[in-house]
Amino acid sequence: MIYKMTRRAALAGVASIAMIAAGATSALAEGWKPQKPVEMVIMAGQGGGADRLARLFQSIIQKEGLASMPVLPVNKGGGSGAEALRYLKDNEGDAHKIMATLNSYYTTPLRTDIGVDIEEFQPVARMALDTFVLWVNADSDIQTLDDYVAAVKASGGEWKMGGTGTGQEDSLVTAMLEKEFDIKVTYVPFKGGGDVAKNLVGGHIDSTVNNPSEALGFYKAGKVRPIMAFTPNRIEVFPDTPTATELGHNIVYWMQRSFVAPKGMPAEAVAYYTDMFQKLSETEEWQTYTKDKALMADFLAGDELQAYFLEERAKHAAILADMEADGSS
């Protein structure tokens, strides 16, 4: 997969790119300032992980005075973000709208034809990569990946895997698992990650691929057990949980948390926002938050970010095509 280079090298590379970008942009940014409050469109509904993160950004921006005008979150979560994507497209050239994205940024336009080409949007900044982990209830006997695969096979397709809506991240990870281990699970979609975690603890489903932030509380209370991480390197808060790569399975999956701007937003405005997020990513609050929540703070901006988006889109197209071929979508 693409994430072959080591994390340190990646971070160093990103940092140097970011420094160059920041140096170039802050000079430009002086000329432009938002004249009215900035709309931060969120591709998800109120209360979910993406929403919470966007509101965290809003409060850090406000607290640290990173923008001259307030940044106001607006939820447009309809149709797995289709609504937000269309909204951004319809507001071409608007310098006071940015959008907080997640992976539905690629999957939604791929799955349904909504007349949006994400290539047209302008990249602003990637703030972080969220990780995925395979979880089971702590009461179960499953300790290792081999136990897990054996248990799923023994259930004869009745193994209940909980996750977010069909076609969203959790279902993609599930599809990748099914393909890699030649297993078949019953996928039960829920409204949000918190709901999924609760149903796992309550014994209503058998396993999940939650983001760590959603299951961390239960993990600390000893109610759920991580089996495997879908990251290239072990996650700091789960030092004893092996990664899929380590176990010889090529499954790596991230949830990106980025910001994009509509087509035709003036370059100075894009630079202003990139600069704003660059400063945000350096605040202590953000750094502690990412550490506590097992997020990878991985700042990326400019053309590199656009290239990353396009690469990810191609990857997702392949996964979705696989899913459809299996008839499980």
CA–CA gap between residue 287 and residue 210 (Å, rounded) = 22
**Using rule CB under 8 A, residue 27 touches other proteins:** no
The residues that bridge with 91 in the sheet, in sequence order, are: none
Within a 13 Å sphere around the CA of 274, how many CA atoms are in the beta-carbon half? 33
Contacting range for other proteins; rule: CB under 8 A; set: 50-58, 123-131, 273-281, 304-312: 50-58
62 touches other proteins (CB under 8 A): yes
**Residue 6 interacts with other proteins (CB under 8 A)?**
no
Give the whole-angstrom CA distance, residue 68 versus residue 61: 10
Q: Which two tokens stand for residue 223?
A: 């109610």
Query: Alpha carbon 70 to chain centroid distance?
Result: 25
Contact 41, 76 (CB under 8 A): yes
Interface positions, 299-328, toward other proteins (CB under 8 A): 327
Establish if 56 lies at the interface with other proteins (CB under 8 A): yes
Residue from 110, 165, 266, 283 that binds other proteins (CB under 8 A)?
Answer: 165
Q: Which of 3, 28, 47, 181 binds other proteins (CB under 8 A)?
A: 47
**Shortest reach from residue 22's CB to other proteins, in Å:** 25
| Residue 63 interacting with other proteins (CB under 8 A) | yes
Q: Determine if 36 is a binding residue for other proteins (CB under 8 A).
A: yes
Query: Residue 265: is it exposed, middle or buried by C-beta count within 10 angstroms (0-12/13-18/19+)?
Result: buried
The greatest distance separating any two alpha carbons of the chain, rounded to the nearest whole angstrom, comes to: 65
Does the footprint of other proteins cover residue 130 (CB under 8 A)?
no
72 binds other proteins (CB under 8 A): yes
Binds other proteins by CB under 8 A, chosen from 14, 18, 29, 82: 82
Considering the complex, what minimum distance in angstroms separates the CB of residue 301 from other proteins? Answer: 24
CB 230 within 8 A of CB 209: yes
Compute CA distances 98 → 60, 88, 241, whole Å: 16, 8, 37
Q: Which stretch binds other proteins (CB under 8 A): 20-28, 145-153, 198-206, 238-246?
A: 198-206
Instruction: Report the length, in residues, of the chain.
Output: 329
184 touches other proteins by CB under 8 A: no
Binding residues with other proteins: total (CB under 8 A):
68
Burial class of residue 4, CB neighbours in 10 A (0-12, 13-18, 19+): exposed
CA dihedral sign of residues 13, 14, 16, 21: positive
Residue corresponding to tokens 């299951």: 215
Q: Which of residues 104-123 bind other proteins (CB under 8 A)?
A: 111-112, 114
Burial class (CB in 10 A: 0-12, 13-18, 19+), 55: middle
- Closest distance to other proteins from the beta carbon of 250 (Å): 26
Complex with other proteins: residue 137 or 243, whichever CB lies closer = 137
Residue from 3, 17, 86, 149 touching other proteins (CB under 8 A): that is 86
Element counts in the chain: helices (H) and strands (E):
11, 11
Binds other proteins by CB under 8 A, chosen from 21, 39, 178, 272: 39
Stretch that binds other proteins, among 10-18, 74-82, 237-245, 264-272 (CB under 8 A): 74-82
Interacting positions 269-298 with other proteins (CB under 8 A):
288-289, 292
Structure tokens at 218: 């239960």
Contact residues for other proteins, defined by CB under 8 A = 35-37, 39, 45-48, 51-52, 55-56, 58-59, 62-63, 69-70, 72-80, 82-83, 86-87, 111-112, 114, 158, 160, 165-168, 171, 186-191, 194-195, 197-199, 201-205, 216-218, 220-221, 223, 288-289, 292, 327, 329
